[in-house]
């Protein structure tokens, strides 16, 4: 017998689900809790299936019959109504979440489970601070290369060239993910390769002769500015990490007991392990009372939960006389550098190879460069970790000797 509203209202729950049939496979299921759900039982490709049509009384008897009739027409056309419902649901979700900001949040949330915490926080900060205010609510398919470039130019204008490049890389990831999930067909960030001001990736001013390195180390250890900046300069020489990775280092990624710093390398996007020498551990232990309450090992001197700024270390180098500014005859200010924060990497690569005699592949791994095995496959992050522990300790001991002695002593390297 077909259902009516009075019968439905009077129907009471039981210890097990109760089903009231209306005909053609349509029925109202009453759960023991009292909830009432419209369902349709049908067969497709020889298999019995069920499709939920909605909750009563939000979906009335008349509305349930209409949905039932529409679903039966779909079935007659040879389409599984249940599968069609799934596709429609995904389509609605896609339309609702088609903005750049929504897709970026979806991607960052997914990648946060795999990335180091510092990487996840940095990428989220760039999206929220530098990208979303301008394109966050824009449909992903409507963002053009010129529009994205205008956003990146804002970062360049404030001197954050490195951040602009990172933001382009993050935007590119968002567009690639959008293409993979069917929400976009083009990646405008890819079109901007070469459009931004170049970052200093080659020929950074550096000191590579041991006799030149000694005065630099003595200047760093005697630096009279901020204690936190002095510690950052010390660790820059000991760890020779990329300046951007060092200044955004987070306490959550540092394991003092294991003597390791784990993070995601910015250039390669791979997990990286930095063994810590005893000298590096001592510096970090000294920093704990000063910065451990926050997320960053080197917080911004301005506070507000941000990491140290991009130019802080180079500004300190300038104060120590390793970066000089001169006024030319044309009245323009020119900068001449004997050393930059990034120069510690070139210094370490040269001295570890030519003076201490360590294998180049150990050095490249420590620099977080992409190194491949004889078969062309990328080494994993633990490659040569034991040897690299010995290398960073030998490096730290060597720097101690340089700093303490006027005459440079050549140490015996490792095979």
pLDDT one-digit tens code per residue, 283-320: 999 999 999 989 999 998 776 788 988 778 878 878 88
pLDDT of residue 277: 95
Would you tell me how many other CB atoms lie within 10 Å of the CB of residue 409? Answer: 11
Q: What is the mean pLDDT of residues 222-248?
A: 89
* Residues β-bridged to residue 18: 30
- How far, rounded to the nearest angstrom, does the alpha carbon of residue 270 sit from its chain's CA centroid? 11
To the question of pTM greater than 0.75 for the whole model, the response is no
pLDDT of residue 182: 86
Q: Which fold has domain 5-94?
A: Double Stranded RNA Binding Domain (3.30.160)
Long-range contacts of 311-317 (CB under 8 A, 24+ apart): 311/159, 312/229, 312/232, 312/247, 313/229, 313/232, 313/233, 313/236, 313/243, 313/247, 313/341, 314/340, 314/341, 316/223, 316/225, 316/229, 316/230, 316/233, 317/233, 317/341
- Where is pLDDT greater, at 161 or 49? 49
Please state which of the ranges 67-76, 100-109, 111-120 shows the lowest mean pLDDT.
111-120
> Residue 104 is encoded by which pair of tokens?
């970026």
Q: Assess whether pLDDT exceeds 90 at residue 135.
A: yes
Q: What is the mean pLDDT of residues 278-282?
A: 97
Task: Show which residues are catalytic.
Answer: 242, 267, 342, 345, 369, 379
Q: Assess whether pLDDT exceeds 90 at residue 217.
A: no
- Where is pLDDT greater, at 244 or 29? 29
Tell me: the pLDDT tens digits for 195-215?
988 765 433 344 555 667 788
Contact 146, 106 (CB under 8 A): no
Percentage above 70 pLDDT, the chain: 80
Tell me: the pLDDT tens digits for 106-132?
899 888 877 667 678 778 889 998 999
What average pLDDT does the structure give for the chain?
81
pLDDT of residue 86: 79
Pinpoint the residues of the chain covered by CATH 1.10.443.10.
210-404
Residue tagged 């950052």 (tokens): 232
Name the phi and psi angles at 24, rounded to 5.
70, 20
Q: Assess whether pLDDT exceeds 70 at residue 412.
A: no
Distance CA 47, CA 97 (A): 34
In the CATH scheme, what is the code of domain 210-404? 1.10.443.10
CATH 3.90.1150.10 fits domain 100-192: no
pLDDT of residue 253: 92
Q: Assess whether pLDDT exceeds 60 at residue 372.
A: no
pLDDT of residue 96: 52
Please state which of the ranges 24-33, 357-366, 369-378 shows the lowest mean pLDDT.
369-378
Q: How confident is the model at residue 273 (pLDDT cuts 50, 70, 90)?
A: confident
Q: Which residues lie below 8 Å from residue 394, measured CB to CB, with a gap of 6+?
A: 356, 358, 411, 413, 414
- Where is pLDDT greater, at 407 or 159? 159
Pinpoint the residues of the chain covered by CATH 1.10.150.130.
100-192
Pinpoint the residues of the chain covered by CATH 3.30.160.390.
5-94
pLDDT of residue 205: 41
Q: Assess whether pLDDT exceeds 60 at residue 415.
A: no
Please state which of the ranges 37-41, 191-195, 317-321 shows the lowest mean pLDDT.
317-321
Q: How confident is the model at residue 370 (pLDDT cuts 50, 70, 90)?
A: low
Q: What is the mean pLDDT of residues 146-152?
A: 95
Contact 155, 165 (CB under 8 A): no
pLDDT of residue 72: 92
Residue tagged 């003595």 (tokens): 218
Q: Assess whether pLDDT exceeds 80 at residue 347.
A: no
Q: Assess whether pLDDT exceeds 70 at residue 378.
A: no
């Amino acid at each position: 017998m077909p259902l009516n509203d009075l019968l439905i209202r009077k129907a009471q729950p039981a210890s097990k689900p109760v089903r009231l049939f209306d005909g053609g496979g349509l029925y109202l299921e009453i759960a023991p809790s009292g909830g009432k759900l419209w369902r349709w039982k049908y067969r497709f490709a020889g298999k019995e299936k069920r499709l939920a049509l909605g909750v009563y009384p939000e979906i009335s008897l008349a509305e349930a019959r209409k949905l039932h009739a529409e679903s039966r027409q779909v079935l007659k056309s040879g389409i599984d109504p249940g599968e069609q419902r799934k596709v429609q649901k995904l389509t609605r979700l896609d339309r609702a979440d088609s903005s750049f900001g929504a897709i970026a949040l979806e991607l960052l949330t997914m990648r946060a489970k795999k990335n180091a915490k510092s990487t996840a926080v940095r990428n989220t900060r760039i999206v929220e601070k530098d990208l979303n205010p301008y394109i966050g609510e824009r449909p992903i398919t409507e963002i053009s290369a010129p529009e994205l470039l205008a956003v990146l130019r804002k970062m360049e204008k404030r001197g954050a060239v490195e951040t602009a490049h990172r933001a382009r890389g993050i935007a590119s990831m968002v567009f690639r993910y959008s293409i993979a999930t069917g929400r976009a067909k083009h990646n405008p960030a890819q079109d901007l390769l070469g459009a931004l001001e170049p970052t200093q990736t080659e020929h950074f001013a550096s000191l590579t002769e041991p006799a030149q390195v000694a005065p630099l180390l003595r200047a760093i250890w005697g630096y009279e500015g901020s204690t936190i900046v002095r510690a950052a300069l010390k660790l820059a020489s000991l760890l020779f990490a990329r300046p951007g990775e060092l200044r955004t280092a987070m306490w959550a990624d540092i394991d003092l007991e294991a003597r390791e710093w784990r993070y995601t390398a910015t250039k390669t996007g791979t997990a990286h392990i930095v063994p810590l020498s005893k000298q590096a551990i001592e510096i970090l232990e000294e920093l704990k009372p000063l910065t451990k309450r926050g997320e960053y090992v080197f917080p911004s001197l301005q506070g507000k939960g941000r990491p140290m700024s991009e130019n802080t270390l180079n500004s300190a180098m300038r104060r120590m006389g390793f970066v000089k500014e001169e006024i030319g005859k044309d009245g323009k200010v020119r900068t001449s550098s004997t050393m930059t924060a990034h120069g510690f990497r070139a210094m370490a690569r040269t001295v570890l190879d030519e003076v201490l005699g360590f294998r180049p592949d150990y050095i490249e791994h420590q620099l977080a460069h992409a190194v491949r095995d004889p078969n062309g496959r990328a080494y994993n992050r633990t490659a040569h970790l034991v040897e690299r522990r010995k290398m960073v300790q030998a490096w730290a001991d060597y720097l101690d000797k340089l700093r303490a002695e006027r005459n440079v002593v050549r140490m015996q390297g490792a095979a």
